[in-house]
Amino acid sequence: MNLCIALVLSMFVALVTAATTAPLSQGEKGIVAVARDAPSPPEGYDVRAVVVGVGAFPGLGEAAGLPWAEQDARRFSMALDSALRVDDLALLTGPQATQARVRDALQSALLGADADEVVIVYLATHGARIDREGVLLLQDSRPGQALAGSSLALRELKALVQRSPARQVWLIVDPVHQSLPGLVTGPDEAVSPLVSAIGAERDDVMVITATGVSTASQGEPACAGLSAFACGVISAMQGSGDLDEDGIAEAAELLRAVPPLVGQLSGGAAGAEGGGRPDTLGLPDVSPQKVAAAVSAEVEVCLYANRRPVPANHRYRTGDVFSVRMTVPQDGHLKLVNVGPDGATHLLYPLQSPDDTVRAGSAIWALPHDHDLELRLVPPAGTERVVALWSPGPLEGAEAVEAFAAAWVAAAPEAQREMAGRKGIQVFPVEDAAGERCVRHRPVEGEAGWVLEVEVVHG
pLDDT-based confidence at residue 1 (cuts at 50, 70, 90): very low
Higher pLDDT pick, 426 / 373: 373
> Over the stretch 359-369, which tens digit does the pLDDT of each residue have?
776 668 888 76
Q: Which of 93-107, 187-201, 229-243, 384-398 has the highest mean pLDDT?
A: 93-107
Per DSSP bridges, beta strands 321-327 and 450-458 are unpaired
Position 152 pLDDT exceeds 50: yes
Distance of alpha carbon 433 from alpha carbon 186, whole angstroms: 61
Summarize the confidence of residues 107-119 as an average pLDDT. 91
Higher pLDDT pick, 290 / 372: 372
Residue 174 pairs in a beta bridge with: 124
Residue 5, pLDDT score:
32
46-280 belongs to CATH 1.10.3720.10 = no
Grouping H, G, I as helix, E, B as strand and the rest as coil, residue 97 is coil
Q: What is the DSSP annotation of 286-322?
A: --S---SS---SSEEEEEEETTEE--TT-EE-TTPEE
- Provide the CA 448 distance to its chain's centre, in angstroms: 27
Residue 311, pLDDT score:
80
Distance of alpha carbon 227 from alpha carbon 233, whole angstroms: 10
Which of 138-147, 148-157, 163-172, 412-421 comes out lowest in average pLDDT?
412-421
CB 114 within 8 A of CB 165: yes
Grouping H, G, I as helix, E, B as strand and the rest as coil, residue 276 is coil
The helix (run of H) or strand (run of E) holding residue 33 is strand 30-35
CB 3 within 8 A of CB 430: yes
> Over the stretch 320-338, which tens digit does the pLDDT of each residue have?
999 888 878 778 889 999 9
Cα Rg of the chain, angstroms: 25
Domain boundaries, the chain: 2-40+293-458, 46-280
Position 13 pLDDT exceeds 70: no
Position 31 pLDDT exceeds 80: no
Position 150 pLDDT exceeds 80: yes
Provide the percentage of residues in the chain whose pLDDT is more than 70. 72
> What does DSSP assign to residue 228?
H
Per this entry, what is the length of the chain? 459
> What does DSSP assign to residue 227?
B
The number of helix segments (H) and strand segments (E) in the chain equals 8, 26
Residue 98, pLDDT score:
94
Higher pLDDT pick, 419 / 54: 54
Residue 43, φ and ψ in degrees, nearest 5: -65, 165
